[in-house]
Structure 1
Amino acid sequence: MGDGVHPYSSRPVAGTHVWLTPPDLLQRLGEFDLDPCAAPSPRPWPTARQHIELPDDGLAASWAGRVWCNPPFGSQTWAWLQRMAEHGNGIALAFARTETEGFQRWVWDRADSVLFLARRPHFHHPDGRRAGGNSGGPIVLIAYGSSNTDALAASGLDGALVRRIEQERKAA
């Protein structure tokens, strides 16, 4: 799933690695400065002010500002979430695979909060058409940075927001 086609992609789902984030979900999260794994141009809607797409390598590129990251799904997801954790300012979208080593390391140990979506979103094809089925698994939005936790809380998206306990103690 992921906004772009990446050299890190695993087996394509439904013949493609390109699955666009639903525009209404993005609108609820506010404006982003960078999408390092953006869908190829032309894209039907922007995901950020700046887009990095193939052949450029978004993992190797310089990141600045508030980042949106819908990485390619599969084992390569963890490299993107590691980079998000190191950057510390943005929101990522991933499968809610809470039991995996990658989730433990790059989400539970590093993110400020997670929003488990109540329903599986319907992604979109590169031309903007909504895909027929939903994501095929539970989705979580992962916030790095307290302002991004605030954005998740204010988004109005149905689900359960879980904040890091350490963050809650610091705020008290």
Structure 2
Amino acid sequence: MFSSRTDMWETPQDLFDELNSEFHFTLDVCAVQGNAKCEKFYTPDDDGLSQPWDGVVWCNPPYGRDIGKWILTASIASGARGATVVMLLPARTDTRWFHDFIYQKGRVEVRFLRGRLKFGNSKNSAPFPSMVVVFRPTS
């Protein structure tokens, strides 16, 4: 399920634990039943893009064509709803979504991760670099 044949990559637990100790997440908006990182979470059946994102949100979205929708929703949730949204994303600095919603935006912090992550229980590293993006609330 979490291989290069899919756009879903399971969050490495040690990375999540480190970020959770800093942010204290209350909601995982993009999970499947077996890998949810928070007590409250949305699965594909819930359609996390159409649900409210409140509190301190964790999001490791599918890395396919719709990734920009997840990033736009994070930006809106942090601006209009006052949520803090932390996302694990592929470091694709040449994309429209990176420039439209992340790069040089006032409330957005980018943390490029050194090396390549091993997602889920994979023995191999990802074929791409990763970054953590933090969308801070406007207030």
TM-score (norm 2): 0.83
Query: Given that residues 28 and 59 in structure 2 are in contact (C-alpha distance below 8 angstroms), is that contact kept between their aligned partners in structure 1?
Result: yes
On the 8 A contact 1:32/1:49 being kept in 2, the answer is: no
Please give the secondary structure, in 1, of the residue aligned with 2:49.
coil
1:62 aligns with 2:57: no
Q: Max radius of gyration: which structure?
A: 1
1:141 corresponds to which of 129, 132, 135:
132
RMSD: 2.0
Spell out the pairing of 1:125-136 with structure 2 (5 A cutoff). Answer: 130-136=121-127
- Provide structure 1 residue ranges, at least 5 long, that are not aligned to the other structure: 3-11, 125-129, 147-172
Letter in 2 for 1:83: T
Task: Flag structure 2 segments of 5+ consecutive residues without an equivalent.
Answer: 79-83
Task: Provide the residue aligned with 2:81 in structure 1.
Answer: none
Identity, in percent, stands at 30
- Cα offsets for 1:118-172 (capped at 9, x unmatched): 1111001xxxxx11221210101001117xxxxxxxxxxxxxxxxxxxxxxxxxx
Which residue does 1:120 correspond to in 2? 116
> Which one-letter code corresponds to 2:31 in the other structure?
A
Report how many aligned residue pairs link the two structures. Answer: 128
Which stretches of structure 1, 4 residues or more, deviate above 4 A after TM superposition? none
The residue aligned with 2:62 is 72
Alpha-carbon distance between aligned partners in 2 of 1:101 and 1:42, rounded to the nearest angstrom: 32
